[in-house]
């Protein structure tokens, strides 16, 4: 199999760069075009074709059969499978040599199901919270070093927030994001790793941009049990957030309320903080969390 790979011709959609590696990521005039007129990357399309074929097979299949189903040369399929196996999206049975769906793909599907279930569980509480405080209520989860908003109930007021479901933001400068850092299982170790991987870029004059500032803020969050974003991500926007715990006492989500600075700070903040904390605590109990 290795000799076939070494002698296989270069695909039309690939171009060789100076260091000898192949760069397939830029579409060329021969790249496929979708109905919307967008050009696509051939190697990416073929990778998804392989994944879909593995999933449709329902059980591990020989590479020869996979090649026939896809209409691709066996060496091309072997090369794509090598990448997928390396990333955990495909696997090869050691005894039979057949290929099937890998554990990483199963993990992604499981994570999607969990998010759907979480949204269903929390939706009534988000609606109640938004109505109670008169501002936008958000549900978010952690994705790597970012925060992702997975549900939202907009305020009925004229001036609303522009954060959309599916959008992401850095952890260090969002109220909800800082909760995931503050309540990480191994706080110091996890925070040090996060700081090595993240540049604390200033989004506004109020953004925390030094490791010590962030560490001090996270310690305060641990003590009070909730978090603020005081115009740290976007000028003119204030956010109050509280953690949602599961039965393993891990933070799996965050509930937050966001609104214009003038409205949020002109009111008694306790009238916003307590409903947010109570909503998060109630959702945590529905997920099996017990404080003691």
Cα angle for residues 109, 96, 72 (degrees, 5° grid): 70
Among 68, 83, 101, identify where a domain stops: 101
Residue 26 is assigned to a structural domain of this protein: yes
Full-model pTM: 0.61
Tell me: do 160 and 54 sit in the same domain: no
Q: How many domains does the chain have?
A: 2
Residue 292 is assigned to a structural domain of this protein: no
More confident residue, 286 or 103: 286
Q: Which two tokens stand for residue 259?
A: 């609104």
Give per-residue pLDDT as tens, 141-198: 888 888 888 888 887 665 555 567 777 889 999 999 999 999 998 999 999 999 999 9
Structural domain that includes position 164? 109-286
Among 79, 101, 123, identify where a domain stops: 101
* Cα gap 157→139, rounded to integer Å: 19
Tell me: do 97 and 113 sit in the same domain: no
Q: Which two tokens stand for residue 43?
A: 């190697």
* Cα gap 51→104, rounded to integer Å: 12
Among 72, 101, 130, identify where a domain stops: 101
pLDDT of 267 above 70:
no
Residue 291 is assigned to a structural domain of this protein: no
Residue 239 is assigned to a structural domain of this protein: yes
* Cα gap 90→114, rounded to integer Å: 22
Q: Are 125 and 147 in contact (CB under 8 A)?
A: no
- The secondary structure of residue 144, as a DSSP letter, is T
CATH of the domain at 32: 1.10.10.10
Give per-residue pLDDT as tens, 6-61: 333 334 333 333 333 344 444 444 455 555 456 668 888 898 898 888 888 877 88
Find where tokens 């260090």 sit.
172
Residue 123: how many CB atoms within 10 A of its CB?
Answer: 13
């Amino acid at each position: 199999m290795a000799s076939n790979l070494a002698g296989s011709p270069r695909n039309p959609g690939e171009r060789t760069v100076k260091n000898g590696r192949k760069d397939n990521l830029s579409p060329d005039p021969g790249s496929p075009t979708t109905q919307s007129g967008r050009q696509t990357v051939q190697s990416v399309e073929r990778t998804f074709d392989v994944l879909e074929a593995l999933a449709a097979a329902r059980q591990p299949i020989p590479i020869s059969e996979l090649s026939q189903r896809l209409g691709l040369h066996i060496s091309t399929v072997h090369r794509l499978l090598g990448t997928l196996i390396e990333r955990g999206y495909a696997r090869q049975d050691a005894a039979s040599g057949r290929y099937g769906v890998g554990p990483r793909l199963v993990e992604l599907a499981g994570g999607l199901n969990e998010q759907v279930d979480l949204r269903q569980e929390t939706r009534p509480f988000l609606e109640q919270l938004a109505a109670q405080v008169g501002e936008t209520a958000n549900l978010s989860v952690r994705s790597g070093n970012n925060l992702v908003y997975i549900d939202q109930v907009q305020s009925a007021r004229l001036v609303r927030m522009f954060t959309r479901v599916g959008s992401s933001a850095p952890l260090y400068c969002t109220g909800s994001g800082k909760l995931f850092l503050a309540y990480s299982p191994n706080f110091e170790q996890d925070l040090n790793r996060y700081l090595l991987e993240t540049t604390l870029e200033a989004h506004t004059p109020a953004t925390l941009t030094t490791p010590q500032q962030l560490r001090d803020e996270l310690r305060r969050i641990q003590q009070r049990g909730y978090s603020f974003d005081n115009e740290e991500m976007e000028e003119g926007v204030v956010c109050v957030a509280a953690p949602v715990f599961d039965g393993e006492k891990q933070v799996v989500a965050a509930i937050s309320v966001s609104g214009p600075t003038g409205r949020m700070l002109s009111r008694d903040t306790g009238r916003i903080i307590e409903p947010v904390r109570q909503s998060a605590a109630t959702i945590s109990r529905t997920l099996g969390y017990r404080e003691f």
